[in-house]
Amino acid sequence: MQAGHQIIARYLKQIDGSPGVYRMLDAESRVLYVGKARSLKNRVASYARPTGHSGRIARMISETASMMFLTTKTETEALLLEQNLIKQLKPKYNVLLRDDKSFPNIHVGRSHAFPLVKKHRGAKSEKGNYYGPFASAGAVNRTLSQLQRVFLLRNCSDSDFETRTRPCLQYQIKRCSAPCVGHISQDDYAKLVKDAERFLSGKTKDIQAALAAEMQKASEEMEFERAAALRDRIKAMTQVQTAQGINPQTVAEGDIIALHMDGGQACVQVFFIRANQNWGNHDYYPRVAADVSETEVMQAFVGQFYQNRDPARQIILSHAVEDPDLVAAALTEKLGRKVEILVPQRGEKLELVTGAKRNARESLARKMSEAATQKKLLKGLAEAFDLPKIPQRVEVYDNSHIQGTNAVGGMIVAGEDGFLKSQYRKFNIKGEDLVPGDDFGMMKEVLTRRFKRLLKEDPDRKTDAWPDLLLIDGGAGQVSAVREIMTEWGVGDVPMVGVAKGLDRDAGKEEFHRTGKPVMALRHNDPVLYFVQRMRDEAHRFAIGTHRAKRAKAQLKNPLDGIEGVGPKRKKALMTHFGSAKAVSNANLADLEAVDGVSKAMAKIVYDYFHE
């Protein structure tokens, strides 16, 4: 058999010096590595040499059995394509950004006379202005709360706005100007919205000065109640500015990205600076090899991080990327305006990067400490339950319902990195033939759907999506029901343990059920017992939270929402006339026809909806 570099050398005759993307594949056609090159021929020639490679690259070359190529018009196009393929294929030897969550923004709507200012995540398809990104939902919620206190903007939905007949609690606690009932004109509300947008753009001093002048004028005109309200708004704004922490003077819009590597692991801290304000930070732990360089990690991170996100005008880095001009050109093309890539050497920007790097170092140290403890617990789990190997992925299942209503199943995942919340899944129980409260049937449905999907997406079990251990909340009955499903789907070799409380149902006296083995227990002070309890409690919390959210949504649903042709205005007219949706459902046809704005034809549609 030919060595990897000899196989690679065969491709030199088939390619030229065009820019493009190459893929290295193993004997089973799995992608080992995706790379881009200004000249494909030169880059492949470097891999064809038998010596002079780092340990990681040498291993990759030795495993290469074939290659694939795709030429592009420019190197910038190759860079964008490379990052797309890395995200999609997750090659073994590439630096990989594992956390791909989207960041929330604040959206100021433009489709309503009294715009709603709200949190928004995802595609920016609604009309209006967007401000962000914020590092977390908590950061957005805090800012929205501050906006309500300072600018008295509404936070109710459009349907609530249309049907309200008196001010809500937000008005009573001075967090809303009550536009729903006409306590403020459209023009005055528009001024508040404009001030809120100026605040989000960083023009806080101008707003504060205007409010102070307005307060002084109200005081001189002896409108003391209005002056006190303006004073409270100025005080709230001052508290906002105090709470924002680091507010750089020389960076109006920038992303601070700092990297720290240690022991073959990496942490990247990203701070978002918008409108000269710190809008929070987020840490990432990309998958890296022990011998990869900081420059290579930073290049891969920046490329993948901005694949689905808009970059700031300035990207301030702790380490240079391999091709700064190329990366800047690609991001400029994506954003439609100039993007600068900076590695500061002095001044405030260097202080910002230094602070971010310190956060990255401390975060990585905490994570490595937690990972060492987690590995020890997973090893103890394997020993306690006689597992064939130390589990890398533990899936824990639980159900939640009230007498069978709004039933949901929850799955949480734990591994070497602790709880993997991005892997959590909820299952809305759909079985129409299930008896209310049938926990066995619910668990069967959840596991059936889980393994059916796994077998469809990865029948050969080549990915890390397959569990090494299942923990089921329940005793012998649940274990038997689940084992039946697993045998039916041909996955009976996956270890599974049922966790049941003891006779007096005290925590610490759990019993563990396994197929074909006697019931067992762990010592009261065994760390593995605490670990199992923690995983079970997390599954219970997740299932109950999902159930409560589903139940709350069902309770808030208005029966009138399902009637075709009944919009906010007609719904408000019906609710005002009858007082409640239940009264509407019980009304006769003549009463419905008497409602202002409801025609005879519409009254018949409403009546038929409730009287089939």
**Is the distance from CB of 67 to CB of 44 less than 8 angstroms?**
yes
- Position 305 pLDDT exceeds 70: yes
Q: CB count, 10 Å around CB of 488? A: 13
Where does residue 220 rank: exposed (0-12), middle (13-18), buried (19+ CB within 10 A)? exposed
pLDDT of residue 434: 64
Helix axes 439-457, 476-488, angle to 10 degrees: 30
pLDDT at 244 over 50: no
| Cα–Cα dist 420/188, whole Å | 47
- For position 299, what pLDDT does the model report? 92
- Does pLDDT of 318 surpass 90? yes
The SS3 of residue 31 is strand
Radius of gyration of the chain (CA): 30
- What average pLDDT is seen over the chain? 85
- CATH class label, 393-548: alpha beta
Please state the rounded mean pLDDT for residues 261-266: 88
Residue of 139, 103, 98, 104 whose CA lies nearest to 367: 98
pLDDT of residue 509 exceeding 80, the answer is no
User: Cβ neighbours of residue 179 under 8 Å, at least 6 residues apart?
Assistant: 114, 154, 161, 186, 189
Asked if pLDDT for residue 333 goes beyond 90, the answer is no
Name the pLDDT band for 266 (thresholds 50, 70, 90). very high
- Any idea which fold 559-610 has? DNA polymerase; domain 1 (1.10.150)
- Please tell me which residue, 352 or 102, carries the higher pLDDT value: 352
* Domain boundaries 4-89, corresponding CATH code: 3.40.1440.10
Helix, strand, coil content of the chain in percent (nearest 5) = 45, 20, 35
Model pTM above 0.95: no
Residue 142 has pLDDT above 90, yes or no: no
Instruction: Write down the residue that tokens 């074939």 correspond to.
Output: 66
pLDDT score of 284 more than 50:
yes
49 vs 36: CA distance, rounded Å: 18
Please give the Cα distance from 372 to 375 (Å, whole number). Answer: 5
Closest CA to 153 of 196, 110, 187: 196
Mean pLDDT of 381-391: 93
62: left (phi over 0), alpha (psi -120 to 50) or beta: alpha
Q: Is the pLDDT of residue 351 over 70?
A: yes
Per-residue confidence band for 195, with pLDDT thresholds at 50, 70 and 90? confident
How much of the chain, in percent, has pLDDT values that exceed 70? 92
Q: 377-386 long-range contacts, Cβ below 8 Å, gap at least 24? A: 377/527, 377/528, 377/531, 378/415, 378/416, 380/526, 380/527, 380/528, 380/531, 381/469, 381/528, 381/531, 381/532, 384/522, 384/526, 384/528, 385/469, 385/495, 385/497, 385/512, 385/514
pLDDT of residue 315: 95
Work out whether the CA dihedral 175, 181, 184, 186 comes out positive or negative.
Answer: positive
Share above pLDDT 90 across residues of the chain, in percent, rounded to a whole number = 29
**pLDDT (tens digit, 9 = 90+) per residue, 22-41?**
999 998 888 999 999 999 99
| Interval 266-295 mean pLDDT | 88
What's the CA gap between 532 and 529, in Å, rounded?
A: 5
**155, 176 Cβ separation under 8 angstroms:** yes
Structure tokens at 256: 């601070």
- Distance, in Å, from the CA atom of 239 to the CA atom of 242, rounded to the nearest integer, reads 5
371 band by pLDDT with thresholds 50, 70 and 90: confident
pLDDT at 238 > cutoff 70? no
Q: Provide the pLDDT for residue 565.
A: 79
Banded pLDDT at 204 (limits 50, 70, 90): low
Top pLDDT among 353 and 430 is at 353
Across the range 5-16, mean pLDDT stands at 89
Q: How far apart are CA 266 and CA 166, in angstroms?
A: 55
**Phi and psi, residue 158, nearest 5°:** -60, -35
| 497 vs 536: CA distance, rounded Å | 12
- pLDDT the model gives residue 394: 95
The 8-class DSSP code of residue 116 comes to P
Distances (CA, A) of 345 to 138, 210, 317, 361, 507: 33, 39, 11, 20, 56
Residue 88, pLDDT score = 86
Whether residue 246 is predicted with pLDDT greater than 60 in this model: the reply is no
Over residues 504-518, mean pLDDT = 78
pLDDT at 572 over 90: no
Query: Can you tell me which residue has the tokens 């819009």?
Result: 253
Better-scored residue on pLDDT, 20 or 404: 20
- Residue 344's pLDDT is 94
Please tell me the distance from the alpha carbon of residue 78 to that of residue 37, in angstroms, as a whole number.
Answer: 7
504 pLDDT band, cuts 50/70/90, is low
pLDDT digits (tens, 9 = 90+) for 438-472: 777 888 888 889 999 999 888 888 888 899 999 99
